[in-house]
Structure 1
Amino acid sequence: MKRWTTAVAAVVVAASVLVVAQPAAADEIRDRQYWLSEYGITGAWQATRGAGVTIAVIDTGIDGSHQDLRGAVVGGTDVSGIGSPNGQTPVGDDSRHGTLVASVLAGRGHGDGAGVIGVAPAASLLAVSVGFGVGTRTSDEQIADAVRWSVDNGADVINMSLTRNTLDWPQSWDDAFLYAMENDVVVVAAAGNRGSGTAVVGAPATMPGVLTVAGVDRSAQASDDASSQGITISVSAPSEALVGAGTGDTYFEWAGTSGAAPLVAGLVALVRSAHPELDANNVINRVIRTATPVAGAVPSPLYGYGLIDARAAVFDEVALVEANPMGDLREWIRLNRRAEAAPEPSEPLPSPSASAEPAPAPPPAAPSNPLGGALPTVESLRDVGIPLLVVGGFGSLLVLALVLAGRQLRRLRRES
């Protein structure tokens, strides 16, 4: 097998490490989706499969003609300027990436239990194609527009299997992500992967209010290569030994938080479908509060609140909250974005009626000395008089000491 890393854009990269194998046979795929049973997904299907929920996949585009995705993509757009208007023409070097993500999220499978079935197989998808490092505009601009378009076109959930590889983000993202959150949309983002060079979590996974997903291996331990760590991690999901649908009815084994994120976005869809009365804040809260904690502090920089439990997230009783447990983006903006410094005041311009600038006033005359110099001025006292007084004082003391010493000497001679 050959290891292949996604193309790195100037500011945004797709957050996955792909292990490209020979395409697997469709009838083998379902048996390899271990997360469906081990993370409570099949249990959650007793209540819902995500019907009525729309998920935007902001990625390289989705091949909606794949046999496992037919009927899943209900709309889309291209913000790169080089894709197709419906977002279903994959763009960039990693053209399979968006289709892999979409299949794990909402694949339908085909035939009698063949192919990839997603976490929320009854949910609807919006395909938003982005060019990572390519296109007519910067990746930052594309992402901001993609988020806004998703909100305006009915997304309940946004999946972002990408990272900027920096802790910070452009101010254009402030407005776009705040727009999503204030319109009750849950934003799910991948933490990124150490194997791809992402040592710590990068934006958008660092943004307050975002549901950030770390990855674990087959034994539910934090993945060495296919995950990053950071204090903004919300929950963890499988990121190794994944299988997904590629372009052209192919299948691949892959790894990375690019795969972990859509598992959680699918879980969010299940919760939103089962609990339509809940706002985004309470949907996020339900996902993190029902996660299975991993030994150590909770939340932790490796696992967040723990491993997702889809059945518990759908069925358990969870107390309601008023605020997003992952933070308040608006408050962060208020505290951290500073207004641009006001320009220095310029010299006042002459009145419009004035024909010329007024002449400057003459400097004030130096104060006169009425005694004609008989008394020292303040300046002369400071520069000359004070030093002379000091020297004179020491001189007087020296003379007095010599006189006293002479008298004492004469007295001693007389006595002798």
Structure 2
Amino acid sequence: MKFITTSAFSAAIATALATLAAPAFAANDNAEFARGRLLVEARAGLTATEFETMLKPHGGKRRKLGQSNLHVVELPANANEQAVLAQLKKHPGVKFAELDKRVKVSMAVNDPYMGSEWHQAKINAPAAWDASQGAGVVIAILDSGVNGAHPDLAPNLVAGYNIYGSNTDTSDVCGHGTPVAGSAAAATNNGAGVAGVAGQAKIMPVRIAYLDTATNSCYAYYSTIASGITWAADHGARIANVSFDGAAGSSAIQSASQYMKNKGGLVFIAAGNNNRDEGFAASTSLIAVSATDSSDARSSFSSYGNFVSLAAPGSYIYTTNNSLGYSAWNGTSFASPIAAGVAALMMAANPALDSGKIESLLFSTAADLGAAGRDPIFGYGRVDAGAAVQAAKNYAPPADTVAPTVALAAPLANSTVSGTVTVTTSSSDNVGVTRVDLKVNGTVVATDTAGPFSFAWDSNGVVNGMAQLVAVAYDAAGNAASSTPISVNVANGVPAPAIDTTPPTVAITNPTSGAVSGTVNVGISAADNNGAAGISLTLYIDGAKKASGTGSSLGYSWNTRKESSGAHTIQIVAKDAAGNTTSTSVQVTR
């Protein structure tokens, strides 16, 4: 038989996922989904007011997942999830919406001890270990927990979190996370047991699954996986591993993976053990891993398809188990953390490399199997730790002086718009576009960091008449380019003038209180009883003015790497046309 794969932030996750303890579920296209729950990501720039207005007819309540732009939407008990989903997908401010499907890890009998860790030699790990063993890199194991008492794991464990149970109990409830963790980073040079691929990396257990006692099977939800990735990214992990079947097909998990990638990390996901083409589209946000055997052939159980990025050994992998001993296992559940361990070796060998370069070197150094180039069975090939670490260690980045190109695709120039307007862009770069800002009449109103880059612009934030839109694209080297400006005719209803003594409302939609790192996209949302066009917004960080603009939204890209460690205060001051003023602030920690 085969192993079938499959602070403030913590408080927010606990509230958002409180209903998971005793889940009810239904079936849709042969997949089970949580009743009363959807996953939604709004387009950059959608105001908090418009988001609430969008959900109100359905009785929906949204909760943000950490510092990401993902939201869990809870619906009333009598709601039809699929009908609400169909309506939300039509809204111009929604980037994606999906059912909160649950995915399974089904444990089977372990194979007997095969006598050696054959996979280490196959991926050329000993050559890599001369240069790197993963020291200083944290690998988040998103799974059923990890047995912290295991002697080959205990030395490498750091604090994690139980997303599913909303507590700090990360013990292994299904016996799956412990062998997955050992495959990636069981301790080396400790005179006992096995060696993980990155034996000096740290293991962060993030429990995202629960044991269904009726079937003795382990399940996670899209929401718990996406939450776990976001939590890990916000708490210092550079790598996350997800060994659950079907996870690569979730838009929410892809979005969370892109969030981690933007913060310098990478997410590895098991391709599945269904011996079929899963039919998922390829994604640049995560690395899906298929399994190979000792002959470099596809493991008979391994799933495949265009979404597969990489291959790694997954047959008879000798690793740690939940009984504090060792066993041999089969599955893409183990191919994925083996590939993740190689990435940790590369990050430790050259900490200056960003996630995109680690990924590209991982792919370019893989042993090309099957059809030449990338193919649906092996992706770019079977991972080669020795070649990958050598490439990372020796890499000297060429100077990137080529600016991106960007154009506004919608709305059309000189068209008439009103209400929430979907703004789409097309962009390209010789290396890659990392973010796109939308400027309206010279003010940055929103920032998007994940392609396809698009926005929900509240046109009520400007006076009626012609408004100028410009998109600005940036690459990782800081090169920037602006689109050709277009003008559109804004035609919204105008509130009747009245004596105004009511101050505007204003909210900081991102970040929330808690830890921040890297580049943080500060999002501001405002509204006023006499219309948003008269609002002026000023953003301060630690009392220093950083950005200003007019209307219902304001965006700012804050590079926290330039800030000192410790607490920082973000404040926004809003003033309407009558001079009424209000402000709000949020405290974060770098």
The answer to whether the superposition gives a TM-score over 0.5 is yes
The answer on 1:271 being equivalent to 2:346 is: yes
In the alignment, does 2:295 pair up with 1:219?
yes
The equivalent residue for 2:202 is 124
Corresponding residue for residue 184 of structure 1 = 264
Post-superposition shift, 1:339?
A: 9.7
Residue matched to 1:43 = 127
Matched residue, 1:13: 103
Q: d(CA) in 1 for partners of 2:397 and 2:250?
A: 31
Within a 5 Å distance, the mapping from 1:19-34 to structure 2 comes to 19-21=109-111, 24=113, 31-34=115-118
Name the structure 2 match of 1:73: 157
Q: How many equivalent pairs are there?
A: 325
2:286 to 205, 210, 215: 210
Which has more helix, going by share of residues?
Answer: 1
Trace 1:279-298 onto structure 2 (pairs within 5 A): 279-298=354-373
Within the alignment, does 1:334 sit opposite 2:409 as a pair?
Answer: no
Q: Does 1:312 align with 2:375?
A: no
Aligned pair in 2 of structure 1 residues 201, 118: CA closer, same or farther (>3 Å)?
A: farther
Which residue does 1:373 correspond to in 2? none
Residue 14 of structure 1, CA deviation:
4.8
Q: In the superposition, relative to structure 1, how do residues 138 and 215 fare at CA in structure 2: closer, same or farther (>3 Å)?
A: closer
Match of 1:139 in 2: 221
8 Å Cα contact 2:319-2:327 kept in structure 1 = yes
Aligned with 1:155 (options 237, 247, 256): 237
Q: For residues 120 and 247 of structure 1, what CA distance do their matches in structure 2 show?
A: 20
Alignment of 1:105 onto 2:181: no
* SS of the residue 1:32 aligns to: coil
1:239 deviates by: 1.0
Report the alpha carbon displacement of residue 245 of structure 1 after superposing the two structures with TM: 1.2
On the 8 A contact 2:298/2:377 being kept in 1, the answer is yes
Which amino acid in 1 is paired with 2:138? T
**SS across alignment from 2:269:** strand
Q: Deviations over 1:324-358 (max 9, x none)?
A: 989989554437x9999xxxxxxx9xx999xxxxx
Higher RCO (C-alpha under 8 Å, 6+ residues apart)? 1
Partner Cα separation in structure 2 for residue 153 and residue 43 of structure 1: 31
- 5+ residue gaps in structure 2? 7-30, 34-100, 214-218, 401-428, 435-447, 459-492, 499-590
Distance 1:6-1:159 versus aligned 2 partners, 3 A rule: closer
Instruction: Determine if contact 1:14/1:161 at 8 Å carries over to the other structure.
Output: no
State how 1:72-91 maps to structure 2 within 5 Å: 72-81=156-165, 85-87=168-170, 89-91=171-173
Q: CA deviation at 1:63?
A: 0.5
* Distance in 2 separating the partners of 1:14 and 1:60: 11
Offset from partner CA, 1:196-251 (integer Å, 9 cap, x none): xx641659xx53221221111221111221x2112232221111111221112132
Change (3 A) 1:276 1:61: same
| 1:230 partnered with 2:305 | yes
Work out the CA distance in 2 between the residues paired with 1:17 and 1:299: 31
Q: 1:148 to 1:134 in 2, by over 3 A?
A: farther
In percent, how many aligned pairs have the same letter? Answer: 29
Greater strand fraction, Structure 1 or Structure 2: 2
AA matched with 1:144: A
Larger radius of gyration: 1
Question: Cα offset for 1:261?
Answer: 0.5
Within a 5 Å distance, the mapping from 1:364-375 to structure 2 comes to none
Q: Residues 334 and 43 of structure 1: is their aligned pair in 2 closer, same or farther, counting only changes over 3 Å?
A: same
| Distance in 2 separating the partners of 1:242 and 1:193 | 15
Question: Structure 1 residues 67 and 48 mapped into 2: Cα distance closer, same or farther (>3 Å)?
Answer: same
* 1:194/1:224 contact within 8 Å kept: no
Alpha-carbon displacement from aligned partner over 1:366-413 (angstroms, at most 9, x marks no partner): xxxxxxxxxxxxxxxxxxxxxxxxxxxxxxxxxxxxxxxxxxxxxxxx
Over 3 Å counting, the alpha-carbon distance change for 1:325 and 1:313 in structure 2 is farther
> Which deviates more, 47-56 or 206-215?
206-215
- CA distance in 2 between counterparts of 1:273 and 1:125 reads 14
Give the TM-score normalised by the residue count of structure 2.
0.49
Offset at 1:21?
A: 3.8
Residue 175 of structure 1, CA deviation:
4.7
With over 3 angstroms needed to count, the CA separation of the structure-2 counterparts of 1:289 and 1:131, relative to structure 1, is same
- Matching residue of 1:345: none
Report if aligned partners of 2:280, 2:307 keep a CA contact under 8 Å in 1.
Answer: no
